[in-house]
Amino acid sequence: MSLLHLVVLAPFLLAILIPFLYKKFRHIHTGWFVLGLPLVLFIYFLTFLPEISGGGAVQETVPWIPSLGIDFTVFVDGLGLLFALLITGIGTLVVLYSIYYIANKKDEPLNNFYVYLLMFMGAMLGVVLSDNLMVVYVFWETTSLASMLLIGYWFHKERSRYGAQKSMLITVFGGFSMLAGFTLLYVMTETFSIREIIAQTDVIASHELFLPAMLLILLGAFTKSAQFPFHIWLPDAMEAPTPVSAYLHSATMVKAGIYLVARMTPVFGGEPQWFWLLSGFGIFTLLWGSVSAVRQKDLKAILAFSTISQLGMIMTLLGLGSAAVHFDLANGETLYTTAILAAVFHLINHATFKGSLFMVVGIVDHETGTRDIRNLGGLMTLMPITATAALIGTFSMAGLPPFNGFLSKEMFFTGVLNATTLDLFNMQTWGLIFPVIAWIASIFTFAYCMIMFFKTFTGKHQPEKLKKQAHEAPMGMLIGPVILASLVVVFGLFPNVLSYSIIEPVMRSILPSLVSDGGEFYVNIYHWHGPNTELMMTIGVVIFGSLVYLNLKRWQEAAFFLKERDPLNWLYDNSLVWLIDGATWVNDLQLTGRLRDYMAYMFVFFAGFMAWGLFYFDAIAIDLENTAPISTYIFVLVAVLILATISIPFINHRITAIIVVGVIGFLLALLFVVFRAPDLALTQLLVETVMVVMFLLVFYHLPELKKESFKPTMKISNLAISIAVGVFASLTALSAHAFSYENPVDAISNYFIENAYTLAGGNNMVNVILVDFRGLDTLLEVLVLAIAALGIVVLVKYTAKGRENL
């Protein structure tokens, strides 16, 4: 195993040690044991910058399940390195922040918090650095699990449990869909390797499974990155501790869907379905999130909907930029890659200003006891450092110079304006929608940024409405937001520091076909472009956004703004109610408490499945010519067996019925002897003897059997089910027998005859099948017996006092 593999697994390894460290050093905050790991990993990933920026990539492979084509391959290119730096860099700041945010109290399960956080960190690294789709899926679902645990960390709160459940249901649903899409990709390409799949884009584009695979993968990306209408889990996820929100919901988890779309762009990019789905859902999510953020009263809720909006913006840019696949790269520059450049740059910018703002909101909540903007105000003089970080973060998110958000917002406007000139996908007709919606959404973005800053830090201070006396946060909580706010300024003033070290390698990963000849993208980011359309749009955003903010009371009188919760939550909540009601109905239908009903369900399914298979595959074939001659004594045995079976329903005495059932079992053992299966006969004799003795011992002490009366309809249904099972089981056996003679080469038995000794080292095929060919099944049967035995022990040990005496 290489160092790269250990780096990905390092958070999981440390997570194993955390409970022991927590128990051993209770007087030390557990976060101090965690802080060093993401910092070391961040420095380690920085060492990859020279090679990656030079056009290289690093790959290490460890075989996992080679027979299924599943290897643990770590692949570091521009895209993977960017996300790895975000995961570890912001992870370091979040861990430091959490040490001061979450107090080291006796009743605070810090070991749980950091185990979940490390599990999430490792899973995110696995998602962005794995080349094998199945490995990506394993890590992907691990992020959903860890996120659910982090959101529900304060599980004593109902809203925390609700938010955790919602995020789990929606993102795991998307993950299952994504898995199906990955499986279809494998069907088309016969590989799980992302690199090899990208090399077969021509095969995929012309395949009939192209569209289903694309839709299923996009479903996974949309649910993870909170695209409309799956965005409703993100606001409720704000019930998590603020360090979790700063980490998961600004820079990492919600960006996993963005990563997936960027990684799959070489596979699906350039196709109209991919273009319209990404850009269409993205632009609507941008608008919906920005409008919804204006009507929030909770600071974290504002940030939640702003995150939804910003993710929609990045998704739109990736969709519009995917059209670049249709064009050749001329002289290192093309008009259509502007959207991809803007998407990558804004992804970085969003992580800096949004991570800072989440930490700022956490500080406000921590030091005042509230996040309600109606109770806040005038905090600038009391919390000057926090206010400065908030000013930089909100103004950057609003798209004001000289901050980095202004640059990526201008590039966003350039991207949507360029989209109107595309001579494909009917963009010359419908393309105008994008700059119009983008401009309107930017107005509301400006408005909620102003609301967030001015309602919190300016105006009249209201100490009577605060739960705590407001004061500046401790230095440990300020380091994170100050560093991120500083990066906002640095990347705004010197954006080209990132141009060829980070951004260009990422673009090369997203659009590899355009630089396959060794070329590179031209990346030059600067503030002043002259009095162009983008600048006019920005001026309009500032003017109209200010009007929205100044007339906020009028806006909030509208019906849509009166309710803070997203209207789509009604659909989610009622869907759960309908699902539970439906499950209850099915449960009541199935679990009647009567053994007869359970047996009837199983036998009906058994008979129906056999009947469907026989008729659907036209497999009914009866050939009695090749059957061996049947001796007279076999007829006698079968006749006695039938008579004994038929007599059971008419027996009124329990002991007699048990004896007759035993006779049937012994007759079956005799048939096994006749058909030369002594091992089966011996097994049958032993089992039947034990069962008969046990039944006799148990039922001897029970009261006399009372004859139960059945309705005629039930008797008829029992008879019909019995006949159906007998008929179709017999037809299946006779057809299989006929097939084995008609196609002797294809007979299943030939495989075991030929391979029993060579593969399993045994001459007795029955034993070999049970122990080797069906070894896993037999092992699980033993496991079931062990679990049942353990259950019996528990029941025996259970005392009358209502507790387990183990």
pLDDT of residue 97: 94
Confidence check: pLDDT of 299 > 90: yes
pLDDT of residue 801: 47
pLDDT of residue 590: 84
Beta carbons within 8 Å of 317's beta carbon, 6+ residues apart: 282, 339, 340, 342, 343, 346, 412, 415
- Please answer whether residues 163 and 100 qualify as being in contact, where contact means their C-beta atoms are separated by less than 8 angstroms: no
Confidence check: pLDDT of 799 > 60: no
Tell me which residue has tokens 């605070």. Answer: 108
Q: Pick the closest to residue 454 from 351, 550, 326, 369 (CA basis).
A: 550
pLDDT in tens, 733-742: 888 877 766 5
Length of the chain: 806
- Please answer whether residues 261 and 279 qualify as being in contact, where contact means their C-beta atoms are separated by less than 8 angstroms: no
Q: Pick the closest to residue 139 from 45, 12, 287 (CA basis).
A: 12
pLDDT of residue 481: 94
What is the rounded distance in angstroms from the CA atom of residue 24 to the CA atom of residue 264? 46
pLDDT in tens, 655-696: 888 889 999 999 999 988 888 888 889 989 999 999 898 888
For residue 562, with 0-12 CB atoms within 10 Å meaning exposed, 13-18 middle and 19 or more buried, which class applies?
A: exposed
pLDDT of residue 436: 94
560: number of Cβ within 10 Å: 12
Domain residue limits, the chain: 282-566, 594-745
For residue 778, with 0-12 CB atoms within 10 Å meaning exposed, 13-18 middle and 19 or more buried, which class applies?
A: middle
pLDDT in tens, 226-257: 999 999 999 998 888 999 988 987 778 889 99
725 vs 104, residue with greater confidence: 725
Confidence check: pLDDT of 172 > 90: yes
Q: How confident is the model at residue 147 (pLDDT cuts 50, 70, 90)?
A: very high
For residue 590, with 0-12 CB atoms within 10 Å meaning exposed, 13-18 middle and 19 or more buried, which class applies?
A: exposed
What is the rounded distance in angstroms from the CA atom of residue 585 to the CA atom of residue 205? 44
Average pLDDT over residues 705-710: 66
pLDDT of residue 154: 87
Beta carbons within 8 Å of 662's beta carbon, 6+ residues apart: 688, 691, 692
pLDDT in tens, 37-65: 999 999 999 999 999 988 889 999 999 88
Supply 714's token pair.
């039930």
Beta carbons within 8 Å of 643's beta carbon, 6+ residues apart: none
Confidence check: pLDDT of 744 > 90: no
pLDDT in tens, 574-609: 988 999 999 999 888 888 888 888 899 999 999 999
Confidence check: pLDDT of 708 > 70: no
How high does pLDDT run on average in the chain?
Answer: 88
pLDDT of residue 802: 52
Confidence check: pLDDT of 456 > 50: yes
- Please answer whether residues 513 and 396 qualify as being in contact, where contact means their C-beta atoms are separated by less than 8 angstroms: no
What is the rounded distance in angstroms from the CA atom of residue 122 to the CA atom of residue 88? 10
Q: What is the dihedral of CA 77, 80, 82, 83, to 10 degrees?
A: 180
Which H, E and C letters describe 668-729, residue by residue?
A: HHHHHHHCCCHHHHHHHHHHHHHHHHHHHHHHCCCCCCCCCCCCHHHHHHHHHHHHHHHHHH
Supply 577's token pair.
């109610």
Encoded amino acid at 379, one letter:
L
Q: How confident is the model at residue 745 (pLDDT cuts 50, 70, 90)?
A: low
pLDDT in tens, 629-662: 878 888 888 899 989 988 888 887 778 888 899 9
pLDDT in tens, 402-450: 999 999 999 999 989 888 877 766 777 788 899 999 999 999 999 999 9
pLDDT of residue 208: 93
Q: What is the dihedral of CA 215, 221, 222, 227, to 10 degrees?
A: -140
CATH fold of 594-745, please?
Four Helix Bundle (Hemerythrin (Met), subunit A) (1.20.120)
Average pLDDT over residues 127-141: 95
pLDDT of residue 625: 75
Average pLDDT over residues 287-315: 93
Q: What percent of the chain has pLDDT over 90?
A: 53
pLDDT of residue 249: 76
- Please answer whether residues 394 and 346 qualify as being in contact, where contact means their C-beta atoms are separated by less than 8 angstroms: no
Q: What Cα–Cα distance (Å) separates residue 363 from each residue in 120, 370, 625?
A: 23, 10, 87
Cβ contacts of 448-451, under 8 Å, gap ≥ 24? 448/290, 448/293, 448/294, 448/296, 448/302, 448/305, 448/306, 449/306, 449/394, 449/395, 449/397, 449/398, 450/394, 450/398, 450/545, 450/546, 450/549, 451/294, 451/302, 451/373, 451/549, 451/552
Tell me which residue has tokens 């709160």. Answer: 157
